[in-house]
Amino acid sequence: MSTTNEDLQQWIDEVAALTRPDQIKWCDGSDAEYRGLIDEMLASGDLLELNQETHPNCYLHRSDPNDVARVEHLTFVCTKHQQDAGPNNNWMHPAEAHAQMNGLFEGCMQGRTMYVIPYCMGPIDSPYARCGVEVTDSPYVVVNMNLMTRMGAAALERIEREGSFVKGLHSIGDLDPEVRFIMHFPDELQIQSFGSGYGGNALLGKKCHALRIASYQARNEGWLAEHMLIVEVESPQGEKHYLAAAFPSACGKTNLAMLIPPETYDGWKVRTIGDDIAWLHVDDDGRLRAVNPESGYFGVVPGTNRKTNHNAYDMIRRDAIFTNVAVTADNEPWWEGKDSGEPVIDWKGNQINGSGEAAAHPNSRFTVAAKQNPSYSPLADDPAGVPISAIIFGGRRRELAPLVYEALDWGHGVLVGASVASETTAAAAGKVGVTRRDPMAMKPFCGYNFANYWGHWLSFTARAKRLPKIFHVNWFRQDQDGKFLWPGFGDNLRVMRWIIDRCENRVDAVETPIGYLPKDGDIDTNGLTIDDATMRSLLSVDRDAWLAELEAVAEYFEEYEDRVPELLEAERERVVAGLKA
């Protein structure tokens, strides 16, 4: 196979001349191709077969122990001017980055097969969808892209019809952590990734294309590419709402997108449109519509069990690729928080020795096709996407942020999003549990200067007539002993219900300087063993702590100097004045 698109053909020829692979394979996305690659990887030891009786078509990949998470310090946005990448990105001049990457890619595929993966982010017939081509020397990347994106023949056809696509070049190199770079060239619609085979570093359709490059395109074209799940909530009366929610990596987006209603919520249905990324466009009626550019999930495994998320638990019992989990004596996958079985071999392939170290890596992952999700919504395939009623921001915060509050209006909501902070998780290399600013949960993913990004968000008041309401939630508030105050998981539907009632103007709220909070008793706790005092502390606003928070936000904004929109600073001052009054 090759292509009628000259630009694509020429690029593939150039890449092949540079990297010198033994052979080139154009991927068609077929089941036979998927099967063939799995068999090759089983033969090479890249994949290990798991118990096929209990877990049909499930396989385990052990990544290099130095290559288990995204590497933000090695991820760059290469624009001509450093200010355009902003203080939120590592920057390198495109000419320098190209010279460096060309040196690394030179001859790197000798002895290997080069795979050409045409893919489409978004429903294949959607006007909102965008295509790309990833070239890689990793068969693991090909099978993951098969599960995560609409890849193969149909995507290539669309590329040949439309002509435009994002170019992604990837090689695992020698998996040397010292020689690892994830480079983005937004003006050229190019991504180059070297030296890692892991998730967001290597599956270039995901964070590199659908967020970093897409956010840059979205700014120029008047839409938004966001790190958000999209969930459909249907009441017993058949009223449907679509909510989009942004949380940092490994803060429970997949669980919220696949939420199982509490027992007392008879007749409520929750369905998944997307679990990680949303592309938001203004439609002809002036509403925001969302599509999920992906068609599969790359989810955190630890903590998944029948109680926390039986949909996810069932979903990964067949046709799933596990990365860096442990295995039991019966050769079943095992992870911390799985409520059955015992690990005998850890994620590195060593016999468990009782050292107390985690058996599965804390950032171990499953990859599955979205259609396998018992709560999959067919609207995930709708080319028109779904209209969004509410946007929800959240972070992992031991204190300060109440369980839920509503922004006063869109402009204030942008401040709420821009102020998001969260404790770091194992999804990225580095220390875990440190609170850092993560505006809109996009810190690792915004492909341009955050200050311009906030300005772009603010511009939607002029672009759209019927904007969604904006909320902030915090499922992670703890008491002095470190105990979580809110049960989380399925019970988060109780909070989403209040959010929906607010969108429908069915429930009043208490106005405070930080936003609207639920009145006493308006969050349904029927069936929960949570006392009034706990609910009050979950919904309390500590004035002094909030004043300190807004001061910290001001300091954070200072890094962005004069690019910070005046409107955003005015919103911040408005909240400060309210708190002082």
Rule CB under 6 A: which residues touch ligand SAT? 70, 199-200, 206-207, 249, 298, 427
List beta partners, residue 279.
225, 291
| Contact partner, 292, from Mn ion, ligand SAT, none, Cβ < 5-8 Å per class | none
Please choose, out of 150-158, 215-223, 249-257, 466-474, the segment that lies near Mn ion by the rule CB under 5 A: 249-257
Contact between 524 and Mn ion per CB under 5 A: no
Half-sphere exposure of 134 (CA within 13 A, CB side): 33
CB of 344 to ligand SAT, least distance (A): 27
Q: Which two tokens stand for residue 248?
A: 């940092």
CB of 248 to ligand SAT, least distance (A): 8
Please choose, out of 72-80, 268-276, 327-335, 384-392, the segment that lies near Mn ion by the rule CB under 5 A: 268-276
Closer of 63 and 389 to ligand SAT (Cβ): 63
Rg of the chain on CA atoms, in Å: 23
- Restricted to residues 305-334, the positions that interact with Mn ion (CB under 5 A) are none
Of 67, 84, 275, 276, the residue at the interface with Mn ion (CB under 5 A) is 276
| Contact partner, 206, from ligand SAT, Mn ion, none, Cβ < 5-8 Å per class | ligand SAT
Q: Which residue is nearest to ligand SAT (CB)?
A: 200
Classify strands 166-171 and 190-194 as parallel, antiparallel or unpaired: parallel
Closer of 298 and 489 to ligand SAT (Cβ): 298
CB of 114 to ligand SAT, least distance (A): 22
Closer of 19 and 201 to ligand SAT (Cβ): 201
Active site positions, annotated: 251
Q: Provide the 10 A C-beta neighbour count for residue 166.
A: 25
List phi, psi (to 5°) of 116.
Answer: -110, 115
Contact between 249 and Mn ion per CB under 5 A: yes
CB of 249 to Mn ion, least distance (A): 4
CB of 78 to ligand SAT, least distance (A): 19
Over the window 349 to 388, marking each residue x when it contacts Mn ion by CB under 5 A and - when it does not, the resulting string is ----------------------------------------
For residue 89, give the amino acid letter: N
CB of 432 to ligand SAT, least distance (A): 13
- Restricted to residues 133-152, the positions that interact with Mn ion (CB under 5 A) are none
CB of 250 to ligand SAT, least distance (A): 7
Q: Is the dihedral of CA 66, 104, 322, 252 positive or negative?
A: positive
| Contact partner, 70, from ligand SAT, Mn ion, none, Cβ < 5-8 Å per class | ligand SAT
Q: By the 8 A CB rule, do 510 and 519 touch? A: yes
**Total interface residues for Mn ion by CB under 5 A:** 2
Q: In which residue are the tokens 């400060």 written?
A: 576
Closer of 75 and 328 to ligand SAT (Cβ): 75
Strand ranges (E), 360-446 = 365-369, 386-387, 390-394, 404-406, 421-423, 435-437
Please choose, out of 44-52, 137-145, 242-250, 570-578, the segment that lies near Mn ion by the rule CB under 5 A: 242-250
Q: Which two tokens stand for residue 59?
A: 């396989």
Closer of 200 and 468 to ligand SAT (Cβ): 200
| Contact partner, 492, from ligand SAT, Mn ion, none, Cβ < 5-8 Å per class | none
SS (H, E, C) 233-294: EECCCCCEEEEEEECCCCCCHHHHHCCCCCCCCCCCEEEEEECCCEEEEECCCCEEEEECCC
Q: What is the DSSP letter of 476?
A: T
Residue among 571, 390, 383 at smallest CA distance from 466 = 390
CB neighbour list of residue 286: distance below 8 Å, 6 or more residues apart: 464, 465, 466
Closer of 137 and 276 to Mn ion (Cβ): 276
581, exposed or middle or buried, with CB in 10 Å at 0-12, 13-18, 19+?
exposed
Quickly list DSSP for 154-223.
Answer: HHHHHHHHH---EEEEEE-TT--TTS-EEEEEGGGTEEEEES--SHHHH-TIIIIIIIIIHHHHHHHHT-
* Alpha-carbon gap, residue 414 to 396, rounded angstroms: 19
Closer of 158 and 361 to ligand SAT (Cβ): 361
Classify strands 326-328 and 333-334 as parallel, antiparallel or unpaired: antiparallel
CB of 199 to ligand SAT, least distance (A): 3
Identify the three-state secondary structure at position 478.
strand
Please choose, out of 50-58, 115-123, 244-252, 369-377, the segment that lies near Mn ion by the rule CB under 5 A: 244-252
CB of 227 to Mn ion, least distance (A): 6
What's the full length of the chain, in residues? 581
Closer of 445 and 560 to ligand SAT (Cβ): 445
Please choose, out of 78-86, 245-253, 394-402, 465-473, the segment that lies near Mn ion by the rule CB under 5 A: 245-253
Closer of 151 and 575 to ligand SAT (Cβ): 151
Q: In which residue are the tokens 């988060």 written?
A: 492
Question: Which spans of this chain sit near Mn ion (rule: CB under 5 A)?
Answer: 249, 276
